[in-house]
Structure 1
Amino acid sequence: MRALTWHGTHDVRVDTVDDPEIINSRDAIIEVTSTAICGSDLHLYDGVIPGVLPGDVLGHEFMGRVVETGSDSTLKKGQRVVVPFTISCGGCFHCQIQQFSACENSNPAEKQDMSAKLYGHSMAALFGYSHMTGGYSGGQAEYVRVPYSDVGPIVIPDHLDDDKVLFLSDILPTGWMAAENAEIQPDDTVAVWGCGPVGLFAIQSAIVMGASKVIAIDHYPNRLALAKQLGAEVIDFRKTNVREALMEMSGGIGVDAVIDAVGMESHGFAIDNMVDVVKQKVGMGADRASALKQAILAVRPGGRVSIPGVYGGMTDKFPLGALMEKGLQIRSGQTHVQRYTKDLLEKIEDGTLDTTFLISHRLPLEDAARGYECFRTEQDSWTKVVLKPGMDMPAAN
């Protein structure tokens, strides 16, 4: 089959690789009909996530049609399914309390030491996201093996197009959980750093949850326009002092809740962030946390901090004093996707949530390398890239 494989920093290629096979009785094989490039994939592309090996198949946002099942799978051949990016067994302590992204069993034992040494506990498995998270092949491919297929995938009715439901795999539930973690109340003013896909879905979710005012912070004009279209007020951080603006927009008290939808590769001109950029490039530091630091300083005392943005290592000059002295609450983590998919599918069906506005480009799988490059370098206009296996390449001019 054809699949998008990693070969080094800024070097991804569509190669011919072995077809997946049923290994466990709970497995299923999915023929991929749509798969997307995620902002988290760019961390792999930029070489800032350890444990990625040449030839690894990338991609964790995908859906398709069931073509083969193990004897204990609950899926049936021919069903259309969206597959959560988190691989979860359904039976361990964490899965039983719906903390699916903390599954104890999905990451093979021989892989667990890699993340346990860094984080104190091993990570759960994810599709297409390094050997720290299990080394499972991802979904930017024609076919993919889905472990624990009786737990993760959600069956999609045929009347819903792929574009409407693909993002149930990751970014829609991630944005929803980000807003939920912010514990939004009806009179709240909420600030969201980053108007990428997760940030935009966090904005949409916060508005649906009843926030009184949502403020979006970014510097890309098109992204800010999309946030405004959703109902947010906007701040261009390159033109405005963000903290002063947030104080004014919140009546002088500070915003009630903040959401960092940027993560480890944040931009900014503060001296600490520029130093972090240099250290990340030379391997001395892992994370640039300018957005998170700014959010902690901007939220009101007693406020809530939600962190859906991906962080992978350490950061310097963290405002720990502000966190403690202001009495802030912090909630973060990989998304417990399976907890949210049924409810969010219903919200898509009844029109409460829309996802299609985000898609800017649809490309053949064979053109995935260009998709990665443009998604990274042209972030204002390339808001979301969907790859279609089997789609013909456009004719050359």
Structure 2
Amino acid sequence: MTPPRGLNALHLHQGHPDFLDLPWYLPLEEWRLEVCPRLVEVPRGLSRHPVVFVSYGAHIYALKELPLSVGRREYEMLRGLEERHLPAVTVVGLARVRVPGEPGDEVAILLTQYLPSSLPYRVLFMNKGLERYRERLLDSMASLLVRLHLGGFFWGDCSLSNVLFRRDAGELQAYAVDAETSELHPKLSDGQRELDLLIMEENVTGGLADLAAMVELPPTLDVYATAPSIRQRYERLWAEINKELILTPGESYRIHERIRALNELGFSVGEVDLVASGDGSQLRMRTIVTDREYHRHQLHNLTGLVAEERQAALLLNEVRELKATLTREMNRSVPLSVAAFRWLDERFRPTLNKLERELGPAADEAELYCQVLEHKWFLSERAKRDVGLEVAVKGYVTLRREQPAPALLRSATEPLPGVVANTGTSPTDKQEAPSSERS
């Protein structure tokens, strides 16, 4: 007798549920609330394979069914992205499910953590009001490709469905989702980058054409001009971070200027190459960029806080403002580390404690504090003076109470419509299943 479908093995990372109460005996297409109360609906892109989402408390996980070899390969790709600190969804584990009749009588189910407060580009492009965010959306998608290529990642399937975005201190941060067709290399060749960009252009144009057949796209989102615009942004940024400078004697200061300029873009500089040029009276300078997490690293080193890149840059600006204030008040230079400690102790923590008492715990403390700073800027602009942090906190609490579920993006006067996911409730009963392996 052929054994029925069921869970053969489950390889999981620590810090996540065991997932043993899920109905592994059913194909993902047949999972319904009646058999899996943890099922939730969230905004999603298109997928070639069955995908479901389940909630465990405040966390949501995506499960995708794949042929075993493809699932193993994508698992390794996502692990590689994580190890290289590249922007992508976090892989949680890989299940091997017994399915008689499939190659090897098994399929893989890849488990990833759903990125909180995120939306696929495809879903966002179906919303009205996109015009205000078009430039930032295209810039963030181009920036994502630059970061992935710098990290040696050939995607092979960049599309509107495979890119997620979420807010990062008023800007947009893009993340890769699928890695089924991807490759990791020490470094990409120009040919590999060119191929990846061609695939992106074809996929994005095709995705927009499909959307245009379903909804009326904004005039600024041209079906045939958008993908080339992303490519142009990519090429400008790539050229900027890879350009070489010619230095003459006495221009060593330009080395530090170049590094600062790259740091302001968020890129960390790992090495600087200086090579003799021409007759030896000049030097050719080339910088080796490592990642786009310069401000994240600096903030973490100073405070221990973990934040997104744009969040970290905004928080560091406030630390530097406090440093200038302390220097003026004390009439002597104050180290940035001292200002960071004072900022953490006197501003950041007290503000978050007050917000937690008024609004409840925050899923992303850094983003919450950045939203308060943004609200402070808006109030100060309106009042034509600095209103101060305390007034901003009170105003922000009032705003949140009037709008309990604010949109993921908002401008000073008008929010962008978004989709609020139902996280569902967590059942307490569990079905019998084999024990899991943990790594």
> Would you tell me which structure has more helix in proportion to its own residues?
2
Query: Shared fold (TM-score greater than 0.5)?
Result: no
Normalised TM-score (structure 2): 0.27
Which of the pair has more CA radius of gyration? 2
Normalised TM-score (structure 1): 0.29
